[in-house]
Amino acid sequence: MAFTTEQLTALETAISTGQLSVRFNGREIRYQSTKEMIWLRDRMRGELGLNTQENSRSRGGRVTFTVGKGL
């Protein structure tokens, strides 16, 4: 399915206001959870070529820290 930036904006607005439904072009879509909406938002951003470094961090990743006593 091809997504539009308008659909992405509507979804992001719903997420930011805590709603579980999105109205677009006279249709209402109701989601089961915010987690599902965030997953779809990330998919939409990917398909629209809008992924940023911030988005890739939210998908989980590996961070390695090296610590020492500073001596």
Reported as half-sphere exposure (CB side, CA atoms, 13 A), residue 10 has a value of: 15
pLDDT given for residue 51 in this prediction: 76
Interatomic CA distance for residues 21 and 37, integer angstroms: 9
Token output for 64: 């390695």
Q: Where are the domains of the chain?
A: 5-52
What pTM does this model have? 0.67
- Encode pLDDT of 24-71 as tens digits: 889 999 999 999 999 999 999 999 998 765 544 455 567 777 777 877
